[in-house]
A and B are shown apart, each in its own frame.
Chain A
């Protein structure tokens, strides 16, 4: 019976696989990567983790962080929550004694499922440009970091941009905006705040849901054609984006009135729609392109050395790749800042958390990092785990994205009370006592 014979080596393998985690310590800082390279959202995963890993390699090629080498291992999540949880549990203890700095699942679902665990295990949970909006309030969510841009800031910035286009926020009154959202927790997350913004500025808002995965949007776009909105905000993910653009073209809605959100802004969202995507506008927290010194550095010491992580080298410098690089810069910067306080050695997640909360990226520092213009100025604190809240707008010219605006800031002062209210409701439900930020150094 081959099944029984096969079992023995397998059992051996699993015990070895788990044992190896407990082996001897090294002077390395570890990044557990809950990556996804297959499944419906593989395009995002391969780009993001490609950029992230390449940046880590780049840092290592230049001597590591103050001599501490970075190490990482991948665990495929397929964007599936329980796989992400298994990966989290498997990787959280570190690798060969190198402690885990932070987790970066790039998935709202996995982030939700590992939120409590991250807090209990004291490992920062980084949800760059996404995640739970109220985790911006670091007093209630000490270990969650929706870096740069949380979902509320995202829509607020888009509304501000539309305001600019129509000649001022006061001109929004009477305008019609449709939000086409992915039928999922991610898609729904901003509906409430959009309604608040609509009430504040007096525009007519229609919320239309596209069922997952978004292969068919005929009726939604027919509806849009009937409504004749001034703008359509596209909160898509994966295949929903190109299909939206194609269907818009089919039904004669102008592409340059469609504004894609942060997960509708990559080449993989626009290119498959072909000519239908030309003119499509989206937000981004970082430009695509390869001109930045840090990308040139990666090219020289990683990609040209044949160690690049991308299977398709043409994707170097694309939106997801660059987001991975940005994410790498922020993670490593947090480690570097924390080292300044705790010493140049591998740090615990709790220490790295302190690093994140003390990220100060101004133009000078960004220039040193070779990332001026790639990363927005960022200042985090114990209470503010987002830090930036600004986006730029880009337009697809049929081949690539072209920036068409300067930084547009979200109305963070307006959003903060909503976020705090939501966070304190959560704290109450869960019996969490918020931290007193005055006591944090």
Chain B
């Protein structure tokens, strides 16, 4: 009796496997990509490319990296910035020391180095759980920048330990203009985001979520806990490493180890809390929020209050709002902006009917 219906299902499995099941979603995404790749470079200006869009994309990628680990596999980390630093400095050294290595290969290798490092600091996760794990990730957070400052080799013996970006050439195209850097970042981020979506929908992604939701049960049904956790650390490290390299090279153009301090790790964590844990889209929403919100607030204050509040005070207020938002999201909407977006879309589908 089971096999009788198999034939009619087989076409649907392939459809089920597709990245986005709904046609409208696919269409929307396609349009968005066309817009981002073709239209934005035409209409954007330097400010938008260098100060908003590029950091937004890089932070989205960093959020994605942490989300794979924390949102999907349930392993809390406060060391994201350490792995970003590792990726940035590794990429720099690959470019510096291997003549003629293509830029994209350097990014990938930088990511691999960060992945290996992340794997090492993930080893304690096999023995300890929950927020005990933050001690291991914090060890990485403090150890890695220290080592990068301490040992001059990492920064090619620059007196102050600062590295600067190599020329941004991809396949002979010079991408060092603001728009070029934006496009380079966009290309990498989009490709990696698609890959991430594939991963979380594969067996590995399900295993991550199983470990997150109940690790004893996961072990009972035969999921190899150690391998699953370590893969989460490694893949997350890879994403963070590439994000770090992009941060250093396509965004700032220069970076010092302390640019990847604990505050950066918190920033990435806030992106996934606000954006939505266990969601790919959430990282983009969260990063957009983190990048845009301070700007909106200062613009708004300037506009409405005409400079009545001094900028320092505004920053304090912003800090308080951030803190409050984190708590509100944790209480009211643990799945973050991504969930709000889904609800909004669901309402849109019913529109104009109210209910």
Binding site for B on A (CB under 8 A): 1, 3-4, 10, 13-14, 16-18, 35-39, 42, 46, 74-76, 78, 80-83, 85-86, 88-90, 93, 108-109, 112-113, 115-117, 132-133, 183-186, 188-189, 191-192, 209, 211-212, 311, 422, 429-431
Contact residues in A for B162 (Cβ distance below 8 Å): 112, 185
In the complex, identify which listed stretch (B43-51, B76-84, B210-218, B220-228) lies at the interface while the others stay far away: B43-51
**A85 to B51, alpha carbons, bound, how many Å?**
7
Q: Indicate which residue in A3, A16, A117, A311 contacts B303 across the interface (CB closer than 8 Å).
A: A16
**Which chain B residues border A80 with CB–CB below 8 Å?**
263
Q: Are B258 and A185 in contact (CB under 8 A)?
A: yes
Q: Which 4 A-B pairs have the closest CB atoms?
A: A37-B312, A17-B299, A185-B160, A89-B51
Bound-state CA distance A42–B311 (Å) is: 12
Contact with A along B334-351 (1 / 0, CB 8 A): 000100100110000000
Closest to B299 in A: A17
User: Once the chains bind, are B315 and A37 in contact (CB under 8 Å)?
Assistant: yes
Tell me whether B254 and A115 are in contact (CB under 8 A): yes
Closest to B155 in A: A185
Q: What is the bound-complex CA distance between A74 and B307, given in angstroms? A: 10
Q: Which A residue sits closest to B51, measured CB to CB?
A: A89
Which chain B residues lie closer than 8 Å to A189 at the CB level? 159-160
Q: Which of A78, A185, A311 is in CB contact (< 8 Å) with B161?
A: A185
Q: Is B19 among interface residues, defined by CB-CB distance under 8 A?
A: no
Q: Which of B146, B160, B292, B310 contacts A211 (CB 8 A)?
A: B146
If A109-B259, A188-B160 touch, whether A76 touches B254 (CB-CB below 8 Å) is no
Besides A74-B310, A185-B149, 5 new A-B residue pairs in contact (Cβ under 8 A), listed by A number = A18-B299, A82-B252, A90-B295, A112-B256, A185-B161
* A-chain residues with CB within 8 Å of residue B233 when the two chains form the complex: none
Residues of B within 8 A of A (CB): 46-47, 50-52, 55, 146, 149-150, 159-162, 164, 167, 251-256, 258-259, 261, 263, 292, 294-296, 298-300, 302-303, 310-316, 319, 337, 340, 343-344
Chain A binding site: helix, strand, loop or mixed by DSSP? Answer: helix
* Count of A-B contacts judged by CB separation below 8 Å: 125
Kindly state the separation between the CA atoms of A117 and B167 in the bound complex, as whole angstroms. 15
Docked-complex contact A90 and B47, CB < 8 angstroms: yes
- On chain A, the residues within 8 Å of B159 by CB distance are 133, 188-189, 191-192, 422
Given known contacts A75-B311, A185-B161, A82 and B251 CB-to-CB distance under 8 angstroms: yes
- Complex Cα distance, B253 from A83, in Å, reads 14
Nearest chain B CB to A220 CB, angstrom units: 15
Across the interface, which residues of A come within 8 angstroms of B55, CB to CB? 82, 86
Q: Is the CB–CB distance between B302 and A116 below 8 Å?
A: no
> B343 contacts which chain A residues (CB < 8 A)?
1
Contact between chains at A14 and B252 (CB < 8 Å)? no
User: Shortest distance in angstroms between B258's beta carbon and chain A's nearest beta carbon?
Assistant: 6
Which among B150, B303, B344 is the interface contact of A1 at CB below 8 angstroms? B344
CB of B141 to closest CB in A, whole Å: 12
23 A-B interface contacts by CB (under 8 A): A13-B296, A17-B302, A37-B310, A38-B312, A76-B312, A78-B315, A81-B255, A82-B252, A86-B295, A93-B47, A108-B160, A113-B252, A113-B253, A115-B254, A116-B253, A117-B253, A132-B160, A185-B162, A189-B159, A192-B159, A209-B150, A212-B258, A429-B164
> Which among B167, B253, B261, B340 has the greatest number of chain A C-beta atoms within 10 A?
B253
**Least CB distance, A323 to chain B, in whole angstroms:** 18
Q: Contact: A113 with B160, CB < 8 Å?
A: no
Question: Are A13 and B149 in contact, with the CB atoms below 8 A?
Answer: no
Contact B46 A89 (CB under 8 A): yes
Taking the closest CB of chain B, its distance from the CB of A120, in whole angstroms, is 10
Tell me which residues across on chain A come within 8 A of B252, comparing CB atoms. 81-82, 85, 113
- Chain A residues whose C-beta falls within 8 Å of the C-beta of B313 in the assembled complex: 37
Whether B344 lies near A4 (C-beta < 8 A) is: yes
How distant is B119 from chain A, measured CB to nearest CB, in Å?
26
Residue of B nearest to A133 (CB): B159
The complex places the Cα of A438 from the Cα of B89 at a distance, in Å, of 39
Q: Which residues of B sit under 8 angstroms from A431, Cβ to Cβ?
A: 167
Q: Is the CB of B315 within 8 A of A81?
A: no
Residues of B close to A186: CB separation below 8 A = 160
Q: Are A14 and B295 in contact (CB under 8 A)?
A: yes
**Smallest distance from the beta carbon of A96 to chain B beta carbons, Å?**
13
Q: How far is the CB of B352 from chain A (nearest CB, A)?
A: 16
Which residue of chain A is the closest to B157 with respect to CB atoms? A192
Question: What are the residues of chain A within 8 A of B46 when measuring CB–CB?
Answer: 89
Q: Do the beta carbons of A38 and B316 come within 8 Å of each other?
A: yes
In the complex formed, the residue of B with least CB distance to A9 is B300
- A17-B315 CB under 8 A given contacts A86-B295, A116-B253: no
Contact: A188 with B47, CB < 8 Å? no
Are B254 and A112 within 8 A (Cβ)?
Answer: yes
Give Cα A430 to B253, complex, Å: 12
Q: How far is the CA of A81 from the CA of B251 in the complex (A)?
A: 11
Q: A10 to B300, Cβ gap below 8 A?
A: yes
Measured between alpha carbons, how far is A117 from B51 in the docked complex, in Å? 12
Cβ 8 A contact of B299, one of A14, A74, A132, A311: A14
- Closest Cβ of chain A to B187, distance in Å, is 21
Give Cα distance in the complex from A10 to B164, angstroms: 36
Contacts of B256 in A (CB 8 A): 81, 109, 112, 184-185
B29 to chain A, nearest CB (A): 21
B53 to chain A, nearest CB (A): 11
Set A13, A76, A133: member contacting B314, Cβ < 8 A: A76
Cβ of A191: which chain B residues have Cβ within 8 Å of it?
159
**A247 to B93, alpha carbons, bound, how many Å?**
39
When distances are taken between beta carbons in the complex, the residues of chain A under 8 Å from B254 are 112-113, 115-116
Contact assessment for B303 and A13 in the assembled complex, using a CB-CB cutoff below 8 Å: yes
Please indicate the chain A residues that have their CB under 8 angstroms from the CB of B261 in the complex. Answer: 212
B151 to chain A, nearest CB (A): 12
Q: Which residues from B are CB-within-8-Å of A116? A: 164, 253-254
Q: Choose among B149, B255, B294 the residue that contacts A188 (Cβ–Cβ < 8 A).
A: B149
Closest A-chain residue to B47, C-beta based? A89
